[in-house]
């Protein structure tokens, strides 16, 4: 029963970050920030120049990560972040760069 309540408290979001976000250390910085917030998931470059991020963790940590994505690391210039909740049975035990 306890694992069910843990699963229900986990939030999973997919986000796409636009702007100058490739070639500026965005993915590596995202991994570091996600580790600090104890999030699971991944980050990857998209062919169109955006960065896609899958975030999984408690609501507060996911919300803090979304706020960080709006700024990004110092060399990045974020112009927009879109996100949507994702329904998944998979639980990510770490955050990695794909």
Catalytic residues: 27, 45
Q: Are 92 and 38 in contact (CB under 8 A)?
A: no
Contact (Cβ atoms closer than 8 angstroms) between residue 31 and residue 92: no
């Amino acid at each position: 029963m306890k694992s069910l309540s843990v699963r229900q408290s986990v939030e999973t979001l997919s986000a796409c970050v636009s702007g100058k976000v490739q070639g500026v250390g965005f993915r590596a910085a995202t991994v570091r920030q996600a580790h600090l917030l104890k999030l699971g998931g991944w980050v990857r470059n998209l062919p169109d120049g955006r960065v896609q991020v899958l975030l999984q963790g408690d609501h507060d940590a996911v919300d803090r990560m979304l706020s960080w994505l709006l700024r990004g690391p110092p060399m990045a210039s974020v112009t927009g972040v879109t996100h949507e909740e994702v329904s998944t049975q998979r639980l990510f035990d770490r955050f990695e760069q794909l």
